[in-house]
Structure 1
Amino acid sequence: MSETFYTDKAAMRVAFDKAAGSYDAAAVLQREVADRMAERLDYIKLAPSRVLDAGCGTGYASPMLRARYPEAQLVELDLAPGMLQVARQKGQGGMLQRWLHLFERNRVLQVCGDVERLPLADASVELIWSNLTLQWCNTPDAVFAECFRVLKPGGLLMFSTLGPDTLKELRAAFDGIDGYSHVNRFIDMHDLGDALVKAGMATPVMDMEQITLTYPDAKAVMRDLKAIGAHNVTEGRNRGLMGKAAWQQVVAQYERFRHAGELPCSYEVVYGHAWKPEPRPGQLADGRQVIEFRPRSRA
């Protein structure tokens, strides 16, 4: 995979840890996409006993998932400990609620881990929910393989991620500035669908929509991206500071997109879901086929 796609996981963890305190104030897109994903669950019949929120961030989806599946245990997983800490504080609330939480039968469990190497047992969850996390992964094939592994047969993976047209205005603004990578790049929806099938998932459904946020200036765009920890973490990035002249050129190039007094910031939001199929006769839950060899009888 090209280094313009490859993300530095250590830098990403640090970025999201630093952003944990400011994340909720700037995560407008993340909340909107989570709400739209939740509407899609209205059409799916599922009664999970355990739900994994893979890449939970500060726990925005937790109240919705717990209300929808009150009998299920919710597992929140995130790469950044700071995000989990904020999610825990929000979920526990006041002193009385914290005490009740200790005795709650299906209380939320938290795991600090990587969705490309899920620290969960095989066939241990019935629903994996993942909102705007996959775009930070280096190998979606590994993510889907892990989802297949931890899902029970008949379980559902539902996710959202970002497609190639995301941040297209910002990418154009940095075009020709230098030889470095300045904006994260994202994988095409059709390639993700192919990866789902390759992982063994059944009946994948993929669709996409464009969501555009508007800002008064380029600095406000960058400020929001930094507030949610979404600044450039590609391996090909410039590790130093950008000079004043180069930044002024970026601003000037971004100004070409100004419309009705605002600068647009576009996101190509990709939605997908797929099922882990029930094993066929002679097939194990992980997809391997059992082949029986019978010795020939001797005369």
Structure 2
Amino acid sequence: MSDIDPSGFELDKARVREGFARAAADYETHAAVQREVQGRLLERLDLIRMQPERVIDLGCGIGESFDDLARRYRSARLTGVDFAPAMLQRARRRGRWLRRPRVLCADMEALPLADASQDLAISSAALQWCSSLDRAFAEVRRILAPGGLWMFTTFGPATLSELREAFAAVDGGAAAHVNAFIDMHDIGDALVRAGFADPVMDQESLTLTYPDLTRLVRDLRGVGVRNALSGRGRGLMGPRRLVAVAEAYAERFGVEGRLPATWEVVYGHAWVPDAPPPRAPEGRTIPIRPIS
């Protein structure tokens, strides 16, 4: 399959960072889905027989994976990367004084790390914030040493399908109100293009229910989720339209006074062969400032 068409996935990354900046202080309160997905990802490491010396979490957020990774790999050097400084301000306080993880504020599509400098890279619920999956995978392939493992989760196209359909019922789908998500098979193809070996992909659906649309939107914004598509609708979503969306949501999907929200969770892992990586694709990145 050819490269993923980026036109439907181009993000306003400044808006993404702004959303995470607002969410950082109270992230745990709203992150039930993200916490569950990350826990399931980390459990999969039980099946992997390796003792990496250098471990990196890409899109680490507030560093909730660090304690688990430090227990699993007691002698490993742990690094967290995120492009939201407010999240990293909290992540850098994890761990004990002499063994605090190193944190870097950087874009996953342009990592400030040396070639073959990591043995294990994980990422949970972060890849959907990349404009180019090919650039992100090329960077991960570059920083992993031969024999290294790349393991991740992200969200597939069925994610928040109920919310997308409710908006479409109100405005006819004229504007994008929910971020786009890449199909699992296209993600697997991107792993192959990046030069990974033995890619494995699978998916499952999680469904949460909410008493009303307001509570759902509050949780989404509470974890930094905002519509950041470059082609999103620019008009204000006034109270009347929000009421109309809530009514459409309840009419189509409501069950016993609750509104379901589906998350299609995509899991993937692949290994780095002892061979040079393919030439990395070119692309834009965003400016990064240091964490003090």
TM-score normalised by L of structure 2: 0.90
Structure 1 unaligned segments of length 5 or more: list them. 280-284, 289-299
Pick one of 59, 65, 90 that aligns with 2:63: 59
CA deviation string 1:170-221 (max 9, x = no partner) = 0011004332210011000000000001100000000000000110001111
SS of the counterpart of 1:46?
A: coil
Instruction: Give, as a single letter, the amino acid of the residue that structure 2 aligns with 1:172.
Output: E
Q: Is this contact kept in 1: 2:61–2:87, CA < 8 A?
A: yes
CA distance in 2, matches of 1:108, 1:40: 22
Kept in 1: contact 2:6–2:131 (CA 8 A): no
- Which residue of 1 is the match for residue 289 of structure 2? none
Report the secondary structure of 1:21's partner residue: helix
Would you say the 8 A contact 1:50–1:127 is kept in 2? Answer: yes
Give the counterpart of 1:134 among 127, 132, 140. Answer: 127
Q: Which moved more, 1:234-243 or 1:215-224?
A: 234-243
Contact (CA 8 Å) 1:115, 1:143: kept in 2 or not? yes
* 1:54–1:78 Cα contact (<8 Å) kept: yes
Alignment partner for residue 123 of structure 1, among 98, 116, 129? 116
Output aligned runs, 1:216-227, within 5 Å: 216-227=211-222
Of 114, 120, 135, the match for 2:107: 114
Count of residues in correspondence between the two structures? 272
One-letter identity of the residue aligned with 2:255: H
- Counterpart residue identity of residue 49, structure 1: E
- State the distance in 2 between where 1:243 and 1:84 align: 34
Give the Å deviation of 1:287: 5.6
Aligned partner of 1:270 among 243, 252, 266 = 266
Residue in 2 aligned with 1:297? Answer: none
**38, 44, 48: which one aligns with 2:48:** 44
- Counterpart of 2:290? none
Larger Rg over CA atoms: 1
Q: CA deviation at 1:23?
A: 1.0
SS in 2 for 1:169: helix
Aligned to 1:258: 254
- Structure 1 counterpart of 2:19: 15
Identity within the alignment, %? 51
Q: Which residue of 2 aligns with 1:6?
A: 10
Q: Could you tell me which residue of structure 2 aligns to residue 79 of structure 1?
A: 83
Indicate the residue corresponding to 1:186 in structure 2. 181
| SS in structure 2 at match of 1:38 | helix
SS of residue in 1 equivalent to 2:177: coil
- The answer on whether the counterparts of 1:4 and 1:184 sit within 8 Å (CA) in structure 2 is no
C-alpha contact 2:92 2:102 (8 A) present in aligned 1: no
Letter in 1 for 2:66: S
Separation of aligned partners in 2, 1:130 and 1:109: 16
- Structure 2 distance, partners of 1:14, 1:77, is 17
2:146 maps to which residue? Answer: 153
Larger RCO (alpha carbons 8 Å, 6+ apart): 2
SS at 1:175's partner residue?
A: helix
Larger deviation, residues 22-31 vs 149-158: 22-31
- The alpha carbon displacement at 1:3 in A equals 4.5
Q: Tell me, what secondary structure is at the counterpart of 2:25?
A: coil
User: 2:246, 2:214 → 1: CA distance?
Assistant: 8
Q: Which runs of 5+ in 2 are unaligned?
A: 280-292
Which of 182, 192, 204 lines up with 1:197 in the alignment? 192
* Alignment deviations for residues 9-52 of structure 1 (CA, whole Å, 9 cap, x no partner): 11101110111012111100111011111111111111111111
CA RMSD of aligned residues (A): 1.4
1:182–1:3 distance in 2 versus 1, CA, 3 Å: farther
